[in-house]
């Protein structure tokens, strides 16, 4: 077996066994989880994680080409395009045949009744029978909807996605990075810290790039007080921080690191503090769910079947139960294969599924779903293959996005009705020989302009009603 050395902020290339006593691995690229995972000697470490802290030695078990990470990219769901017959294709195939049949039929009729009108009727029917409904109403309606989405930080891969929104009857959510924020946590200090001690802790954490250190620093740092400059600083990966300031020793990290016992039974992250050999308390960092989630889930539950599909454990099941209705199904500890199985079972049962996820481990599931939306804190950052990208802050508008997508279909149908009235009237006059090709040529573009104006205004009105402007 080959042995490799992975330094700080280097990506782990293959599946390996840890040789060192401890390591801190950042799997945010794969799972969307911002907190590094602490590994102990002998633990199996999958490819795709970033080493956080001092360098570590690993014994290679599987090379990159055979690693678990590669399975994500080679998954069947990545290679299959989701079939979708466009509405415009369904209509146009019949529309053109009907036009030709009417033109030929009218020409034959007048050939026997009055041959002088044969070519006039034939030409007038072909000109006035405008295919503006399928040719213009769908792309202009869908294009207007996509522009509204884009203004609100929701970016779709193509126009087909808007057409499919009206078919959705089920929604599946990933938890970490989708329902929860990867950048924020609810932080509470249990204990007592004086203003001077807060400055010391802020100064100590400013030297670390660990996500928990950053969050504590953001909570305590006050520009008025500045940062304490430590005489010495040391960070022990997976354990904590320690430094000396004017003879005072400051320690921050796990309970064992500072010589205390953690009796907590909940799954919240705790960071303990010891200053000048005295235990001061601990920071408790709880998962922060996105603002407006309760209202969003309530609105969505009236229209869709809701489910949670997460790779995390069940520690947050009770909290999620407060957001979701009792009828919602929740799946935890789900691997790549497990997520695909759940989605396929739902689809085999006749459900049209929209899934929202963030990490690479959601990528194949997003591809398997009828519509897959990648939720990201920064739309410029990496996002797994999906039908669309949604900026995390716009998640609370998801109900409005789906409502506008469904309204788009109604607008298209309304434009078809307008076009139908025009075409029936125009064709009737043309078949009766009451419409010349010249007049038909004038009426045809006017009908097209009418459809364009109608669809654009209706989408704008619908967006204004939903406050998506």
Q: Are residues 64 and 108 in the same domain?
A: no
Q: Let me know: does 466 contact 400? Beta carbons within 8 Å.
A: yes
Tell me the per-residue pLDDT of 422-431, one tens digit each, with 9 for 90 and over. 878 888 888 8
Quick: pLDDT tens for 192-239. Answer: 999 999 999 999 998 887 778 888 988 898 888 888 889 999 888 668
Residue 280 resides in a domain:
yes
- pLDDT (0 to 100) of residue 254: 86
Q: Is the pTM of this model over 0.85?
A: no
User: Within this chain, do residues 381 and 438 fall inside the same structural domain, yes or no?
Assistant: yes
- 3-state SS track over the chain: CCEEEECCCCECCCEEEECCCEEEEECHHHHCCCCCEEEECCCEECCCCEECCCCEEEEEEECHHHCHHHHHHHCHHHHCCCCCCCHHHHHHHHHHHHHHHHHHHHHHHHHHHCHHHHHHHHHHHHHHCCCHHHHHHHHHHHHHHHHHHHHCCEEECCCHHHHHHCCCCEEEECHHHHHEEEEEEEEEEEECCCHHHHHHHHHHHCCCCCHHHHHHHHHHCCCCCCCCCCCEEEEECCCEEEEEECCEEEEEECCCCCCCCCCCCCCCEEEEEEECCEEEEEEEEEEEECCCHHHHHHHHHCCCEEEEECCCCHHHHHHHHHHCCCCCEEECCCCHHHHHHHHHHHHHCCCCEEEEECCHHHHHHHHHCCEEEEEECCCCCCCCCCCEEEEHHHHHHHHHHHHHHHHHHHHHHHHHHHHHHHHHHHHHHHHCCCCCHHHHHHHHHHHHHHHHHHHHHHHHHHHHHCCCC
Q: Is residue 213 located within the same domain as residue 155? A: no
Residue-level pLDDT at 79: 46
309 within 8 A of 342, measured Cβ to Cβ: yes
Kindly tell me if the per-residue pLDDT of 406 is higher than 90.
yes
The CATH number of the domain holding residue 47 is 2.70.150.10
Q: Can you tell me which residue has the tokens 């904590």?
A: 240
Residue 313 has phi, psi (to 5 degrees) of -80, -175
C-alpha span between 145 and 181 (Å, rounded): 27
Domain-terminating residue out of 288, 322, 342: 288
User: Per the domain annotation, does 346 fall within a domain?
Assistant: no
* Nearest residue to 155 via CA among 388, 444, 443: 388
Please write the tens of the pLDDT for every residue from 69-119. Answer: 666 555 554 445 555 545 555 666 676 777 788 888 888 888 888 888 888
Q: Which of 273, 288, 303 finishes a domain?
A: 288
Query: Considering its fold, how many domains does the chain have in total?
Result: 3
Q: The dihedral of CA 225, 228, 234, 240: what is its sign?
A: negative
Cα–Cα distance, 428 to 335 (Å, whole number): 62
The reply to whether 84 and 70 lie within a common domain is: no
- Is the domain of 469 the same as that of 423? yes
Of the ranges 28-37, 156-165, 176-185, 436-445, which one carries the lowest mean pLDDT score? 28-37
Q: What is the mean pLDDT of the chain?
A: 82
CA distance 180 to 200: 30
- Is it the case that residue 49 has pLDDT exceeding 90? no
- Residue 329 pairs in a beta bridge with 307
Residues 6+ apart with CB under 8 A from 467: 400
Note whether 201 and 119 are same-domain residues: no
End-to-end alpha-carbon separation of the chain, Å? 59
By the 8 A CB rule, do 221 and 206 touch? yes
Inside any domain, residue 83:
yes
Q: Is the pLDDT of residue 462 over 50?
A: yes
**Claim to verify: residue 47 and residue 81 sit in the same structural domain:** no
Q: What is the CATH number of the domain that holds 217?
A: 3.40.1110.10
Task: Give domain status of residue 357, yes or no.
Answer: yes
Domain carrying residue 188: 183-288
Which of 165, 171, 176 has the alpha carbon at shortest distance from 306? 171
- Confidence class of residue 465 from pLDDT cuts 50, 70 and 90? very high
Distance between CA 12 and CA 4 in Å, rounded? Answer: 10
Q: Out of 16-25, 147-156, 175-184, which region has the weakest mean confidence (pLDDT)?
A: 175-184
At 158, the pLDDT band (50, 70, 90 cuts) reads: confident
Do the beta carbons of residue 117 and residue 430 sit within 8 Å? no
Q: Are residues 88 and 141 in the same domain?
A: yes
Side-chain-side CA neighbours of residue 440 (13 Å): 24
Q: Are residues 203 and 268 part of one domain?
A: yes
In a domain, 447, yes or no: yes
Place of tokens 């006593």: 21
Report yes or no on 423 lying in a domain.
Answer: yes
Same structural domain for residues 282 and 198? yes
Residues 6+ apart with CB under 8 A from 157: 386, 387, 388
Model confidence at 15, pLDDT cuts 50, 70, 90, reads: confident
Q: Indicate the residue among 74, 109, 125 that finishes a domain.
A: 74
What does the pLDDT read at residue 316? Answer: 79
pLDDT at 306 over 90: yes
In a domain, 330, yes or no: no
Domain assignment present for residue 335? The answer is no
Same domain, 61 and 90: no
Q: Kindly report, residue by residue over 371-392, the tens digit of the pLDDT.
A: 999 888 765 555 556 888 999 8
Q: Give yes or no for a contact between 259 and 278, defined as CB atoms under 8 angstroms apart.
A: no
Task: Measure the CA–CA gap between 405 and 463, rounded to whole angstroms.
Answer: 10
Quick one: 138 and 53 in the same domain?
A: no
Predicted confidence (pLDDT) at residue 397 exceeds the cutoff of 60: yes
């Amino acid at each position: 077996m080959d042995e490799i050395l992975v330094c700080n902020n280097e990506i782990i290339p293959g599946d390996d066994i840890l040789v060192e006593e401890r390591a801190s691995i950042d799997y945010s690229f794969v799972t969307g989880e911002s907190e590094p995972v602490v590994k102990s000697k002998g633990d199996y470490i999958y490819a795709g994680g970033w080493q956080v802290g001092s360098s570590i030695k690993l014994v290679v078990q599987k090379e990159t080409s055979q690693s678990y990470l590669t399975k994500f990219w080679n998954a069947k769901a990545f290679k299959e395009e989701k079939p979708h017959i466009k509405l415009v294709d369904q209509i146009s195939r019949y529309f053109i045949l009907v036009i030709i049949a009417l033109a030929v039929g009218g020409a034959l009729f007048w050939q026997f009744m009055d041959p002088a009108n044969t070519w006039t009727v034939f030409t007038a029917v072909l000109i006035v029978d405008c295919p503006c409904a399928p040719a213009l109403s769908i792309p202009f309606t869908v294009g207007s909807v996509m522009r509204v989405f884009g203004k609100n930080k929701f970016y779709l891969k193509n126009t087909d996605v808007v057409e499919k929104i009206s078919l959705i009857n089920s929604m599946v959510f990933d938890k970490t990075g989708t329902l929860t924020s990867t950048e924020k946590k609810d932080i509470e200090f249990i204990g007592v810290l004086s203003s001077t001690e807060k400055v010391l802790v802020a100064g100590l954490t400013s030297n670390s790039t660990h996500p928990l250190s950053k969050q504590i620093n953001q909570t305590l740092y006050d520009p008025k007080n500045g940062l304490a400059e430590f005489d010495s600083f040391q960070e022990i990966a997976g354990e904590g921080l320690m430094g000396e300031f004017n003879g005072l020793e400051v320690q921050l990290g796990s309970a064992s690191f500072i010589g205390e016992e953690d009796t907590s039974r909940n799954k919240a992250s705790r960071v303990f503090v010891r200053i000048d050999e005295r235990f001061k308390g601990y920071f408790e960092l709880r998962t922060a769910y996105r603002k407006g989630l309760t209202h969003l889930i309530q609105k969505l539950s009236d229209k869709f079947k809701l489910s949670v599909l997460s790779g995390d454990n069940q520690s947050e099941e009770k909290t999620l139960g407060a957001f979701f209705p009792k009828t919602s199904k929740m799946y935890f500890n789900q691997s790549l294969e497990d997520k695909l199985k759940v989605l396929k079972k739902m689809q085999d049962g006749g459900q049209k599924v929209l899934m929202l996820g963030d990490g690479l481990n959601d990528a194949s599931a997003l591809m398997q779903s009828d519509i897959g939306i990648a939720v990201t804190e920064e739309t410029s950052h990496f996002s797994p293959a999906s039908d669309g990208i949604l900026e995390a802050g716009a998640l609370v508008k998801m109900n409005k996005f789906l409502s506008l997508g469904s309204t788009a279909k109604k607008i298209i149908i309304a434009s078809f009705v307008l076009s139908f009235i025009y075409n029936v009237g125009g064709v009737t006059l043309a078949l009766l020989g009451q419409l010349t090709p010249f007049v038909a040529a004038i009426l045809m573009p006017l009908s097209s302009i009418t459809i364009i104006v109608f669809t654009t205004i209706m989408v704008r009105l619908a967006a204004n009603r939903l406050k998506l402007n």
